[in-house]
Homo-oligomer: A and B are copies of this chain.
Amino acid sequence: MTVVILAMICGVIAVLYGVVTSRQILAASAGNQRMQEIAGAIQEGAKAYLGRQYRTIAIVGVVVAVIVAVFLGMVSATGFVIGALLSGVAGYIGMNISVRANVRTAEAARGSLQGGLTLAFRSGAVTGMLVAGLGLLAIAGFYWYLTDIAGNSPNDRIVIDALVALAFGASLISIFARLGGGIFTKAADVGADLVGKVEAGIPEDDPRNPAVIADNVGDNVGDCAGMAADLFETYVVTLGVTMVSVALLVQTSAAQLAALMALPLLVGGVCIITSIIGTYFVRLGGNQSIMGALYKGFWATVILAVPAIYFATQYALGDMHQVIGGAEFLQSATEGFPDGLVDTTTATGIAGGVTGMGLFWCMMIGLAVTGLLVWITEYYTGTGYRPVRSIAKASETGHGTNVIQGLAISLESTALPTLVIVVAVIAAYQIAGVIGIAFAATSMLALAGMVVALDAYGPVTDNAGGIAEMAGLEDEVRHRTDALDAVGNTTKAVTKGYAIGSAGLAALVLFGAYTTDLGIFFPDLAVDFTLSNPYVIVGLLLGALLPYLFGGMGMTAVGRAAGSVVEEVRAQFRDNPGIMEGTSRPNYARTVDLVTKAAIREMIVPSLLPVLAPLVVFFAVSAVAGRAEGFAALGALLLGVIVSGLFVAVSMTSGGGAWDNAKKYIEDGNHGGKGSEAHKAAVTGDTVGDPYKDTAGPAVNPMIKITNIVALLLLAALAHAAI
């Protein structure tokens, strides 16, 4: 059986797992009448929002698809549409299972903590496996069609362009979904908290708060659907760019090239299987540690992945020690290419080529990076360590010192992840060159099924707590869902650190693809990428600006939308005094509608920023200093976005998680506990951290990649136009 078909079978298994597990979840009791009513309202709001969001994105999507079709042809346009559609589908399915699992988790938590945990985690696993499975099927299926059915060679330009276009489709949808969902969820959350907890003095998730349903809808459309679309994008882009970089950089026999291009797909496939096995390890131990239970699943997946990746590599490549792309191939394969174009040392790190064993070690580096990033994120956002505790302690002296310490931690939290990524880049490069970095990123993303499962579990438990509160369930139930939810803060932060870390690696590979493509398309253009070229410095500065401007826009959007939620809720309280007395029901739908409109309006401009910036910079610099400098500035812009985006994203997501858990740590009875002055200060920190960690920070991930992909497509389009 061919390697690609084997990978597709793994993708089908993931989808089957999703279908079967969904049925199990739906078979569980959905609780009493009141619970179902509330869940129904959340479902309705989430569907209405996603429907409107997708309709808006569809307009942009159709325009872009037409542009892609005109400049790059129908095959690429098809790839774009597949990527875009499946990214949307991944988000939609994630939301769909999440809005059904929430109420069932609340009901199951009435029975036992284990019951709630199992249901919530299974629902997360459905989203996780569907994200990974659909991602794998999209890229493997499309690749299989283009090569085995349509008969193209693996490294034909049509295949490369189509894979890039597929990634572009996924990225474009995911930046809108991440940002729109992020604005929705945090505008509703911040608005509801401000007007409810702070002004009206009612608890979180109190049914008298007209914004409470919107808040719960937000968990599903932002933290679940937006996240799923984002990770789908990360998955597709990482596997896709690994294949593209192999096609562009490795000069070897046709058979070996085909095997090497299929390897990322098979690695993705076998890791889906280890992720599915891992889900069955998620069980509470004797110490009742929920984080411990989730980690058992995660570590089982990682440990099983080691032999799985080894055998996958062996299956795909045959001999693990045979040199690929060695000197003898390079000699013949570089014929026909412009002199000096194919930089064999850059491609393979060692002029003698790379072996299957070398790639295996690079993929082990990817697993190690994932493990280390998880551990570092846990350190910076867990309640058991210095960072969160220092923020909690600083809350004693007021709002100001809480925020100062939180910002200090968010700045500091970038250090260890950067060192891990730096060491990984050096090690993978020493073993197998740029290709080695690509395979390290691939093995990171191969774990996506399990990582997304851990993340998607969070919003379900958050919702379950809300439903328990609103339906007036026993206090014990709320305590159980709170315990489940507290862990969700850390797992959510973990996914973001993981996504941005892998984005750092993937973007380096994308940059490699850009420079190689440049040489292929414009062999006569001497582009000076050295740091002493001022246009390179200009590009770096403009690239570094993008995450700042994007982050500023995202934060402003949340602030503005949250402000209108506050005004809306105040108006409802004023016009209908019965709400606070509990005699009449607030108009939940009006708030949901308001946030929906605000989020969709606010997501457009910032999402277009990374799409348009590469084009503007290229054409502006080209006009001033010629095309070569335009390409130099554009290339530097890509690196500038990564270098700056990595820090902006990590600081925002870690800092936000730490603020959130500092509040939880105080609520657990430290520094005066709930209601103390320290708690009020911690609530402020949490509010500040919300748009940091759930709106601006995570959206930087798709932003980095979309900039890079647009640059690659621009190159291809310019080359087409030149012909």
Asked whether any CB of chain B lies closer than 8 Å to the CB of A556, the reply is yes
Q: Are B552 and A409 in contact (CB under 8 A)?
A: yes
Known contacts A403-B403, A430-B625; A411/B531 CB under 8 A? no
Chain B binder among A42-50, A252-260, A532-540? A532-540
A429: nearest chain-B partner, CB-CB: B534
Most buried by B among A426, A621, A683: A426
Partner of A408, one of B403, B535, B552, B621: B552
- Residues of B within 8 Å of A559, CB to CB, are 394, 401, 404-405, 408
- Residues of B within 8 Å of A542, CB to CB, are 418, 422
A537: nearest chain-B partner, CB-CB: B508
Q: Are A643 and B544 in contact (CB under 8 A)?
A: yes
Taking the nearest CB of chain B, how far is it from the CB of A295, in angstroms?
A: 28
A536: nearest chain-B partner, CB-CB: B531
Report the separation of the CA atoms of residues A683 and B400 in the bound assembly, to the nearest whole angstrom: 8
- Residues of B within 8 Å of A508, CB to CB, are 534, 537
Asked whether any CB of chain B lies closer than 8 Å to the CB of A699, the reply is no
**A622-643 vs B, Cβ < 8 Å mask (1 yes, 0 no):** 0011000000000110011001
Asked whether any CB of chain B lies closer than 8 Å to the CB of A234, the reply is no
Asked whether any CB of chain B lies closer than 8 Å to the CB of A194, the reply is yes
Report the separation of the CA atoms of residues A555 and B406 in the bound assembly, to the nearest whole angstrom: 9
Most buried by B among A409, A434, A639: A639
Asked whether any CB of chain B lies closer than 8 Å to the CB of A437, the reply is yes
Report the separation of the CA atoms of residues A405 and B549 in the bound assembly, to the nearest whole angstrom: 13
Taking the nearest CB of chain B, how far is it from the CB of A223, in angstroms?
A: 18
Report the separation of the CA atoms of residues A512 and B536 in the bound assembly, to the nearest whole angstrom: 13
Q: Are A397 and B562 in contact (CB under 8 A)?
A: yes
Q: Are B422 and A541 in contact (CB under 8 A)?
A: yes
- Residues of B within 8 Å of A534, CB to CB, are 425-426, 429, 434, 437, 508
Asked whether any CB of chain B lies closer than 8 Å to the CB of A687, the reply is yes
Q: Are B401 and A548 in contact (CB under 8 A)?
A: no
Asked whether any CB of chain B lies closer than 8 Å to the CB of A545, the reply is yes
Most buried by B among A190, A394, A544: A544
Asked whether any CB of chain B lies closer than 8 Å to the CB of A63, the reply is no
Asked whether any CB of chain B lies closer than 8 Å to the CB of A676, the reply is no
Report the separation of the CA atoms of residues A562 and B400 in the bound assembly, to the nearest whole angstrom: 11
Asked whether any CB of chain B lies closer than 8 Å to the CB of A646, the reply is yes
A545: nearest chain-B partner, CB-CB: B418
Asked whether any CB of chain B lies closer than 8 Å to the CB of A17, the reply is no
Asked whether any CB of chain B lies closer than 8 Å to the CB of A352, the reply is no
Main secondary structure of the interface of A (DSSP, over half): helix
Report the separation of the CA atoms of residues A639 and B437 in the bound assembly, to the nearest whole angstrom: 23
Q: Are B548 and A415 in contact (CB under 8 A)?
A: yes
Report the separation of the CA atoms of residues A194 and B681 in the bound assembly, to the nearest whole angstrom: 13
- Residues of B within 8 Å of A422, CB to CB, are 538, 541-542
How many subunits of this chain does the assembly comprise? 2
Q: Are B644 and A404 in contact (CB under 8 A)?
A: no
Taking the nearest CB of chain B, how far is it from the CB of A622, in angstroms?
A: 12
**Size of interface on A: residues with Cβ below 8 Å to B:** 83
Q: Are A415 and B194 in contact (CB under 8 A)?
A: no
Taking the nearest CB of chain B, how far is it from the CB of A343, in angstroms?
A: 8
Asked whether any CB of chain B lies closer than 8 Å to the CB of A703, the reply is no
Q: Are A412 and B553 in contact (CB under 8 A)?
A: yes
Q: Are B643 and A407 in contact (CB under 8 A)?
A: no
Known contacts A412-B552, A643-B540; A532/B529 CB under 8 A? yes
Asked whether any CB of chain B lies closer than 8 Å to the CB of A515, the reply is yes
Asked whether any CB of chain B lies closer than 8 Å to the CB of A74, the reply is no
Taking the nearest CB of chain B, how far is it from the CB of A195, in angstroms?
A: 8
Q: Are B194 and A401 in contact (CB under 8 A)?
A: yes
Asked whether any CB of chain B lies closer than 8 Å to the CB of A421, the reply is yes
Known contacts A400-B683, A511-B531; A414/B562 CB under 8 A? no
Q: Are A400 and B644 in contact (CB under 8 A)?
A: no
Asked whether any CB of chain B lies closer than 8 Å to the CB of A399, the reply is yes
Q: Are A346 and B532 in contact (CB under 8 A)?
A: yes
Asked whether any CB of chain B lies closer than 8 Å to the CB of A558, the reply is yes
Q: Are B624 and A548 in contact (CB under 8 A)?
A: no
Taking the nearest CB of chain B, how far is it from the CB of A409, in angstroms?
A: 7
Q: Are B421 and A541 in contact (CB under 8 A)?
A: yes
Report the separation of the CA atoms of residues A69 and B409 in the bound assembly, to the nearest whole angstrom: 39
Q: Are A548 and B651 in contact (CB under 8 A)?
A: yes
Q: Are A426 and B687 in contact (CB under 8 A)?
A: no
- Residues of B within 8 Å of A552, CB to CB, are 408-413, 415
- Residues of B within 8 Å of A227, CB to CB, are none
Taking the nearest CB of chain B, how far is it from the CB of A297, in angstroms?
A: 32
Asked whether any CB of chain B lies closer than 8 Å to the CB of A73, the reply is no
Taking the nearest CB of chain B, how far is it from the CB of A171, in angstroms?
A: 21
Listed by A's residue number, 6 A-B pairs whose Cβ atoms lie within 8 Å are A400-B684, A412-B548, A540-B639, A541-B646, A643-B644, A684-B684
Lowest 5 A-B CB distances belong to which pairs? A400-B687, A411-B552, A412-B552, A408-B555, A399-B684
